[in-house]
């Protein structure tokens, strides 16, 4: 089997799908890319069993057809160090020898029979909707950081996607923080919800950054699978099983105490003061009244202490409330707005962080952070 392909095209597509490869796969064959040639089409495949990603590449000067598993690390590292040039592949399917040559060299590597590579699963009668790539990328970006890492709570190690006749909603939580993003530009007739696993959608987020197109989404809650298709890329993944926490029940509805502040100034202040906080709790105290707002941190073990005043508009009762500065900083970093509203009811109740102006009339972003008990 022989064919010619551009180095840049091949490297770009292999890099795009490489994120789904496992780091410690139980199946050695999954340390490889699958190259499948049919006619003048090369299908590149990467998989970790839970997720499979494919990319379609147009070929020239093709002789023969077939499938072969190519060592991913070897091919990626070689292509990374090459200039853009046509590459000639000559693959001996019987003896499992991969040869490829460019203008300044020839390279030989062992490869494996394509039949050993796991086949992509299929979905029968999936439900379908389309979403603009920038909306999907933004929704994932706003929520992914808030997913949990606790393997005892696998249903929180992903992003909930809810579809209705009003909007599409993405929710992530780790029990300390929660993010809810919805957009009314995407609607379906029949409500549905499923949990997207963290790893494949992190890869999707990366690739969608350079895409401006509609993404076709097909899903089956019967077989717990989902497929995203756009351009020459397809991502097929299993869905998380289990029930997502009843997130709406924990979002407080009545929050009379509100602090409106410049997001960047607030973020920088939390970062600076957080340096002096206890490095096990990262606790910062925010003291709020209508005259001034103070942000404080103290680490008694190392005699560290910091205090800053920050300009902002506060309405409500005098209050001292504590937050984990790492969580608070992370949430502010994942917002784009110029100004935020920190809305609270009591020092021991969840607080909301909401943009004072949403970036688009179609979208709505809400973040929730649990307070910590003040110990000084």
CATH class of 251-369: alpha beta
Residue 104 confidence (pLDDT): 83
Strand 97-102 relative to strand 105-110: parallel, antiparallel, unpaired? antiparallel
Q: Give me the sheet containing 112-113, strands edge to edge.
A: 112-113, 66-71, 32-38, 41-47, 51-58, 233-238, 225-230, 214-220, 127-132
pLDDT in tens, 51-61: 999 999 999 89
Identify the architecture of domain 2-116 in CATH. Roll (3.10)
Q: Considering the domain 127-247 in this protein, what is its CATH number? A: 3.10.150.10
Cβ–Cβ under 8 Å, residues 261 and 353: no
Residues 331-376: tens digit of each pLDDT: 999 999 999 999 999 999 999 999 999 878 999 999 999 999 987 6
Predicted TM-score (pTM) of this structure: 0.92
Per-residue pLDDT of 99-139, as tens digits, reads 999 988 999 999 999 999 999 888 888 999 999 999 999 99
CB-based contact 226:219 (threshold 8 Å): yes
Specify whether the CB–CB gap between 333 and 263 falls below 8 A. Answer: no
Q: Where in the chain is the domain with CATH 3.10.150.10?
A: 2-116, 127-247, 251-369
């Amino acid at each position: 089997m022989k064919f010619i392909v551009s180095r840049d095209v091949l490297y770009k597509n292999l890099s795009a799908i490489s994120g789904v490869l496992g780091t410690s796969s139980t199946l050695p064959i999954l340390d490889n890319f699958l190259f499948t040639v049919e006619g003048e089409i090369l299908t590149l495949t990467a998989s970790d069993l839970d997720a499979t990603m494919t990319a379609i590449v147009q070929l020239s000067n093709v002789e023969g057809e077939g499938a072969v598993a190519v060592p991913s690390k070897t091919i990626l590292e070689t292509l990374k160090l090459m200039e853009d040039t046509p590459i000639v592949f000559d693959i001996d399917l019987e003896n499992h020898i991969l040869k490829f040559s460019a203008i300044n060299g020839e390279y030989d590597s062992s490869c494996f029979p394509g039949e050993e590579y796991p086949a992509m699963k299929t979905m029968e009668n999936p439900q379908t909707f389309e979403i603009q790539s920038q909306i999907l990328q933004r929704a994932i970006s706003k929520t992914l950081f808030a997913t949990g890492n606790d393997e005892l709570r696998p249903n929180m190690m992903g992003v909930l996607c809810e579809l209705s006749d009003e909007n599409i909603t993405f929710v992530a939580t780790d029990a300390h923080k929660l993010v809810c993003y919805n957009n009314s530009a995407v609607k379906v007739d029949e409500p549905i919800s499923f949990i997207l696993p963290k790893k494949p959608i992190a890869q999707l987020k990366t690739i969608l950054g350079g895409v401006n197109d509609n993404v076709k989404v097909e899903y089956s809650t019967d077989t717990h699978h989902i497929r995203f298709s756009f351009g020459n890329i397809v991502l097929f993944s299993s869905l998380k099983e289990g029930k997502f926490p009843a997130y709406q029940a924990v979002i407080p509805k009545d929050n009379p105490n509100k602090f409106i502040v410049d997001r960047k100034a607030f973020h920088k202040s939390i970062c600076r003061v957080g340096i002096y906080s206890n490095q096990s709790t990262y606790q910062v105290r925010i003291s709020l009244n209508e005259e001034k707002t103070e942000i404080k941190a103290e680490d008694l073990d190392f005699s560290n202490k910091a205090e800053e005043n920050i300009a902002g508009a506060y309405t409500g009762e005098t209050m001292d409330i504590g937050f984990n500065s790492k969580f608070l900083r992370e949430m502010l970093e994942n917002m784009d707005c110029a100004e935020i509203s920190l809305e609270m009811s009591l020092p021991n109740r969840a607080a909301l962080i909401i943009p004072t102006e949403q970036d688009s009339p179609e979208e709505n972003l809400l973040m929730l952070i649990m307070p910590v008990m003040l110990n000084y």
